[in-house]
Amino acid sequence: MRSIKNASIIVGVFFVLIFSIIPSVVNSDTVSGSHSVSVSAVVQAPQPPEEPKTVVQFTGLAYPNSELTLLRNGTFLTNITTNSSAEFDIAIEMNPGTYTFTIYGEDVNGLAGPIFNISVTLNSGVTLSITGIFLGPTIEADRTSVKTGETITFSGYTAPNSQVDLFISPETVDSYSITSNNNGLWSLSLIAGEDLMNSGNHQARSNATSGNGDISEYSKTITFTVTEDVEPNPCELASPADLNCDGHVNLVDFSILMFYWQEKNPANARADINKDDIVNIVDFSIMMFYWTG
């Protein structure tokens, strides 16, 4: 009898479970069984869609480990920091509209590079990505004037391991190429008078080609002058009584003076030391004054 009673209890519990569970399978909404067992499912109300953001993104290359300045319509917007590979990537949320953005920066030596401008229209809810920006290299020369035969060195910063082409005008259309090092530094020395640089005023600027083949904007333009290395005329520096300009006033000069003695407008104009159009005792006395022996 005891085992039969237990069996009837088990069947009863089983029935209750079946009775309770089956409706929950049929209906996923809230259901209640006739006893203590219940199954509920909460359906999340759908979230309202987020207002899409209007974003402008700038990615590109400049100078390693440097700080760039970003302007919007000529007004400061934010700073941008580049990494050791000279890369930058910044996204900014702003109101839709048409803007002119300006980006420029300095290299690690504080030398300012050229300015990059771009005008774009931002549409509502759209992320506008401006990629492939490559600011022009920084550039400076170690001198502004160089004599023929002397060396002038141009240098600056760009993205690391880039080919830098230096353009000298107006004499040349060819460029001089160098590769920037791991720090982005480039440096190129030219010899004035050789390397196609004639005497006169010159301008120099450069651009860079990254390892990926991206070509930068041009650098700023700098100017320098090449001058002829002319031997100074020794007579310009000599004593007025040093008639042969050898640095001495002696018997050689005296003999020249005697050669032109009493001549008017002598062929060797230096013999007329006081420039009164005659070689005479006055010139002789001046010579004595400067006499070095």
Nearer to Ca ion, 165 or 272 (CB): 272
Nearer to Ca ion, 91 or 269 (CB): 269
**Residue 262 contacts Ca ion per CB under 5 A:** no
**Residue 253 contacts Ca ion per CB under 5 A:** yes
**Residue 107 contacts Ca ion per CB under 5 A:** no
**Residue 274 contacts Ca ion per CB under 5 A:** yes
**Residue 272 contacts Ca ion per CB under 5 A:** yes
What's the token pair of residue 30?
């809230």
Nearer to Ca ion, 229 or 246 (CB): 246
Which range, of 33-41, 162-170, 220-228, 279-287, touches Ca ion by CB under 5 A?
Answer: 279-287
Rounded to 10 deg, the angle between the 251-259 and 281-290 helix axes is: 170
**Residue 244 contacts Ca ion per CB under 5 A:** yes
Angle at 211 between CA 203 and CA 81, to 5 degrees: 80
**Residue 283 contacts Ca ion per CB under 5 A:** yes
Nearer to Ca ion, 11 or 252 (CB): 252
d(CA 98, CA 220): 27
Residue 277 region, left (φ>0) first, then alpha (ψ -120 to 50), else beta? left
- Mode of pairing for the β-strands spanning 87-93 and 127-134: unpaired
Least distance to Ca ion, CB of residue 279, Å: 5
Least distance to Ca ion, CB of residue 166, Å: 49
Which range, of 20-28, 133-141, 185-193, 241-249, touches Ca ion by CB under 5 A?
Answer: 241-249
Residue 18: how many CB atoms within 10 A of its CB? Answer: 10
**Residue 276 contacts Ca ion per CB under 5 A:** yes
Q: How far is CA 196 from CA 43, 168, 223, in A?
A: 81, 9, 16
Residue 238: how many CB atoms within 10 A of its CB? Answer: 19
Q: Of 151, 132, 209, nearest to 177 (Cα)?
A: 209
Matching residue, tokens 């009673």: 5
Least distance to Ca ion, CB of residue 171, Å: 42
d(CA 274, CA 282): 8
Position among 20, 31, 77, 242 found at the interface with Ca ion (CB under 5 A):
242
Binding-site ranges for Ca ion (CB under 5 A): 242, 244, 246, 248, 253, 272, 274, 276, 283
